[in-house]
């Protein structure tokens, strides 16, 4: 079942009304990622305000999720002695059949779910359609306590306004994608759900005179109600309707397929004109025997029609699953929307939503999956990080203005208001007062941890600058030094802590960056909106968010996202080991010698609670800053080494590199840390490709990249596949190619317009000549049609490339599908346990064969 976006608060209101002291505790299952963690923080705060008891369970992967189902969810079921209850899945299970994985879907309807209601909030796509349109006990309106004519509480998998909890089931929270984009898949799924099971024998078996014994009722699937053949005798539908796809009906009933091909005798008689008496008289006078009814289609024909319709619907679902991975609205945003519907929004919950959205961008999660998507090229997309993402960030900026109004002194005197650091282009580094807990908009440049690093280190470790200045090379370092020199900032000044830099330099930094960044292809380095310092209803597009904790600290949302991610990937205990200049596994850490990674997963779960506490305690965040800095130093070192030593190979479908040597190998055994390295490399390779060829390969999507990190302790490689994206902003030396492309396009448009005018003139002359000679307009229609055809062909020729990018699924990350295909076709020992399907583990000895088979697959749509 799925909950439409307008009814997002319905289930919560039902829980409020039905919850009491003896109710079972709500179980919250949370993925080990910043966005899900922020969503959990918001939901936990709502539960505390309503005195709803809950437990939080970090989930590292599918094996952990299955264990949680056995130990926690199944005992809640009424048929197992429990009282039912609610299980909330934040970022876990959206892509798989949760009913089977958690064990709440029994073999028949009576043992399914047992009063356990599973709420699924996930940003990953594609959805498992069994959760979206199924996942409910098949209860008739009479059994549910409703009148047969009353409005159903669930219709075609969609929860209606009158829905009441208690029967259990799986409920997916819709962020708008299901209602807007999955109507075709919904029709196909509901049609397949209503169809009977028929063996597909290639249409070769069976005959027209098959007995009823051979047409036995098939076995229904768990949790799905199937109809027997005999239940359809009382329904009527013409043979032609059987050939057409069945339209969606509110009754969820299937097309009638009778057992016998013959029709009732009375219906055959009534097909003649006239009343029944006269018809009988005519029949007796014409023929001594009664008229025989026409013979209907045979059983074999009906089976063929059914199989054809089934294959058509199955192909629709398969096409949806084959689109590849993508991301939609973040979990934290969905939870903040719930809080807003309940009237509970405040600064703390808003900050959690902002951090969750920012973390999605840090991990490259977009509408085309995990890929390099920085810059303006994604603004044309309709999904997350496209136009929809822009609207979402604008709503967050509006919420910041609403919940953090300017002080009376600031609003009374415009001159004082314009003196605020953020409105003067200065990055705020301190609070306005000791009690300041506000959130502000800030003109954040694309630097990394600038408040906690020197300006030089912040620019050096910025993925955006590293890719566009080629920072891994000597020439790139010289370009960085030259940029600083042109800005009038000496190396001595920029290498001291940013907070201690001269105020005059900090005041003029944004202006100088805007002046010189265009020379180096850094168009998106700093936001350019509201440069005059007056926000007169301006959108402040591209501006970041900053929160203050009095004199304790002032951090940006990106700072918090980077630090929380580092805690999850490296661990809080690593902070004590950084003083020596290196990183080793802490002495008290458990050795991960198990083959399936169970102990390693438990270690990751322990880091979850450190990150959970750090979101609320600013001192914990500040203490983990060295860990985040060390991780990004390692990314720069490792990425530079791979590029300088030319260790990135170009295979048929993607580029590939292996991280198995060096001092930082242990850091990249965590999939998220390895993903950050892959994104850093992917952005650098995209810029190299753009500078070399003037454009990105793979139809403008960039070359996909596979990065494998060695986990020597367990003898496996962690493999991450990222899409090429398409970058944005022009790289160093890319302006000429872009200008030439624009000129060619304009010239092509002008030539097409001139050609159209010439054709129109010739047609008009011919039309006038025909009128004078023939005196009729018979051929005028043909000429008009020809004109439209020619115009259409011209447009198709020019827009062929643009239309390719509009195809559904274009550019999506398909590494998850490719990994599955390789596992099925080879004997490689592969473990797929991550919720991120572009991440797998491969045995050390099987890596070469795995990559060889993978190179023959389509990895990007």
Residues 439 and 560 grouped into a single domain: yes
- Domain membership of residue 139 (yes or no) is yes
Rounded mean pLDDT, 659-679: 92
Residue 664: pLDDT above 80? yes
Mean pLDDT, rounded, of the chain: 77
In what order do the strands lie in the sheet containing 158-159? 54-59, 26-31, 85-90, 116-121, 169-173, 2-3, 158-159, 154-155
- Domain membership of residue 305 (yes or no) is no
Instruction: Please return the burial class of 275, using the count of CB atoms within 10 Å of its CB with bins 0-12, 13-18 and 19+.
Output: exposed
- 779 — pLDDT class (breaks 50, 70, 90): very low
Tokens of 656: 């590939």
Of the candidates 427, 329, 386, 267, which has an alpha carbon nearest to the alpha carbon of residue 122?
329
Domain closes at, from 175, 201, 231: 175
Residues 576 and 688 grouped into a single domain: no
How confident is the model over 251-293, as pLDDT tens digits? 333 333 333 333 333 333 223 233 333 333 333 334 445 556 6
What per-residue confidence (pLDDT) applies to 724? Answer: 66
The maximal CA–CA distance of the chain, rounded, in angstroms, is: 116
Residues 569 and 464 grouped into a single domain: yes
Q: For residue 792, give its domain range.
A: 735-773+782-806
Residues 561 and 442 grouped into a single domain: yes
Residues 601 and 666 grouped into a single domain: no
- Domain membership of residue 261 (yes or no) is no
H helices of 574-732, in order, are: 598-614, 618-623, 625-644, 671-693, 697-700
Domain closes at, from 587, 618, 649: 618
What per-residue confidence (pLDDT) applies to 173? Answer: 95
Residues 698 and 741 grouped into a single domain: no
pTM listed for this prediction: 0.78
- 767 — pLDDT class (breaks 50, 70, 90): confident
Residues 479 and 353 grouped into a single domain: yes
Coil, strand, or helix at residue 106? coil
How confident is the model over 389-424, as pLDDT tens digits? 788 888 999 999 999 987 655 444 444 555 566 666
* CATH number of the domain to which 682 belongs: 3.10.310
- Domain membership of residue 256 (yes or no) is no
- Domain membership of residue 258 (yes or no) is no
Domain closes at, from 175, 193, 219: 175
Residue 72: pLDDT above 70? yes
* CATH number of the domain to which 155 belongs: 3.40.50
- 149 — pLDDT class (breaks 50, 70, 90): very low
Residues 750 and 845 grouped into a single domain: no
Whether 312 contacts 245, CB under 8 Å: yes
- Domain membership of residue 523 (yes or no) is yes
The total number of structural domains that make up the chain = 4
Residues 137 and 118 grouped into a single domain: yes
What per-residue confidence (pLDDT) applies to 565? Answer: 95
Choose between 755 and 329: higher pLDDT: 329
Of the candidates 629, 336, 640, which has an alpha carbon nearest to the alpha carbon of residue 475?
640
């Amino acid at each position: 079942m799925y909950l439409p976006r307008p009814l997002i608060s319905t289930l919560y209101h039902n829980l409020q009304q039905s919850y009491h002291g003896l109710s079972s505790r709500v179980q919250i299952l949370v993925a080990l990622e910043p966005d899900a963690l922020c969503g959990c923080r918001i939901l936990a705060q709502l539960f505390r305000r309503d005195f709803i008891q809950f437990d939080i369970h970090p989930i590292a992967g599918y094996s952990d999720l299955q264990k949680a189902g056995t130990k926690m969810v199944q005992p809640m079921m009424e048929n197992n002695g429990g009282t039912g209850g609610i299980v909330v899945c934040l970022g876990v299970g959206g892509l798989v059949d949760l009913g089977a994985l958690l064990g709440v879907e029994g073999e028949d309807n009576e043992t399914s779910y047992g009063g356990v209601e599973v709420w699924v909030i996930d940003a990953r796509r594609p959805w498992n359609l069994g959760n979206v349109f199924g996942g409910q006990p098949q209860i008739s309106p009479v059994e549910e306590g409703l009148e047969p004519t009353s409005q159903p509480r669930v219709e075609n998998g969609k929860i209606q306004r009158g829905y009441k909890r208690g029967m259990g089931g799986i409920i997916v929270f819709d962020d708008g994608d299901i209602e807007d984009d999955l109507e075709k898949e919904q029709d196909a799924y509901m049609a397949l759900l209503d169809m009977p099971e028929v063996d597909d024998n290639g249409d070769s078996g069976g005959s027209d005179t098959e007995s009823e014994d051979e047409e036995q009722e098939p076995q229904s699937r768990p949790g799905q109600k199937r109809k027997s053949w005999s239940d359809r005798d009382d329904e009527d539908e013409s043979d032609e309707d059987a050939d057409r796809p069945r339209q969606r009906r509110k009754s969820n009933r299937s097309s009638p397929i009778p057992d016998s091909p013959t029709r009732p005798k009375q219906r055959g008689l009534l097909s003649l004109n006239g009343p029944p008496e006269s018809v009988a008289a005519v029949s007796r006078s014409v023929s001594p025997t009664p008229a025989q009814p026409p013979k209907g289609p045979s059983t074999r024909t009906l089976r063929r029609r059914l199989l054809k319709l089934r294959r058509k619907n199955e192909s629709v679902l398969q096409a949806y699953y084959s689109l590849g991975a993508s991301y939609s609205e973040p979990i934290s945003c969905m939870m903040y929307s719930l809080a807003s519907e309940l009237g509970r929004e405040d600064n703390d919950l808003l900050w959690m939503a902002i951090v969750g959205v920012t973390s999605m961008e840090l991990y490259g999660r977009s509408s085309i999956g995990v890929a390099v998507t920085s810059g303006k090229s994604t603004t044309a997309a309709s999904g997350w990080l496209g136009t929809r993402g822009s609207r979402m960030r604008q709503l967050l900026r509006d919420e910041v203005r609403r919940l953090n109004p300017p002080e009376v002194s600031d609003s009374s005197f415009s001159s004082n208001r314009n003196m605020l650091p953020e409105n003067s282009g200065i990055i705020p580094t301190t609070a306005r007062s000791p009690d300041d807990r506000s959130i502000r908009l800030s003109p954040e440049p694309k630097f990394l941890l600038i408040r906690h690093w020197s300006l030089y280190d912040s620019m050096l470790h910025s993925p955006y600058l590293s890719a566009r200045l080629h920072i891994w090379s000597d020439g790139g370092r010289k370009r960085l030094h030259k940029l600083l020199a042109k800005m009038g900032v000496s190396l001595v000044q920029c290498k001291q802590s940013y907070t201690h830099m001269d105020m005059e330099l900090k005041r003029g930094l944004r202006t100088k960056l805007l002046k010189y960044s265009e020379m180096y292809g850094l168009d998106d380095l700093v936001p350019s909106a509201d440069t005059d310092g007056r926000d007169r209803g301006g959108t402040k597009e591209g501006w970041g968010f900053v929160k203050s904790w009095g004199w304790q600290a002032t951090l940006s949302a990106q700072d918090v996202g980077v630090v929380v991610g580092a805690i999850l990937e490296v661990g809080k205990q690593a902070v004590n080991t950084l003083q020596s200049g290196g990183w080793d596994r802490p002495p008290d850490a458990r050795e991960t010698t198990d083959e399936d990674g169970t102990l390693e997963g438990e270690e990751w779960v322990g880091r979850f609670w450190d990150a959970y506490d750090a979101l609320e305690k600013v001192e914990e965040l500040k203490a983990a800053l060295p860990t985040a800095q060390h991780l990004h130093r390692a990314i720069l070192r490792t990425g530079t080494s791979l590029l300088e030593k030319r260790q990135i190979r170009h295979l048929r479908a993607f580029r590939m590199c292996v991280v198995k040597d060096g001092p930082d190998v242990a850091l990249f055994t965590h999939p998220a840390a390895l993903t950050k390295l892959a994104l850093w490399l992917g952005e650098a390779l995209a810029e190299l490709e753009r500078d070399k060829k003037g454009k990105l390969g793979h139809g403008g999507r960039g070359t996909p990249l596979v990065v494998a990190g060695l986990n020597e302790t367990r003898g496996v490689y962690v493999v991450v596949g990222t899409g090429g994206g398409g970058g944005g902003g022009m790289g160093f030396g890319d302006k000429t190619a872009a200008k030439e492309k624009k000129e060619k396009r304009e010239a092509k448009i002008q030539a097409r317009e001139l050609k159209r005018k010439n054709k129109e003139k010739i047609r008009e002359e011919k039309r006038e000549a025909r009128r004078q000679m023939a005196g009729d307009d018979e051929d005028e229609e043909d000429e008009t049609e020809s004109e439209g055809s020619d115009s259409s062909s011209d447009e198709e020729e020019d827009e062929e490339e643009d239309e390719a990018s509009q195809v559904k699924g274009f550019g999506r990350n398909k590494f998850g599908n490719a990994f599955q295909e390789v596992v099925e076709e080879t004997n490689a020992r592969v473990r797929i346990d991550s919720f991120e399907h572009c991440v797998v583990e491969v045995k050390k000895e099987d890596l070469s064969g795995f990559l060889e088979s993978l190179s023959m697959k389509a990895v990007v749509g």
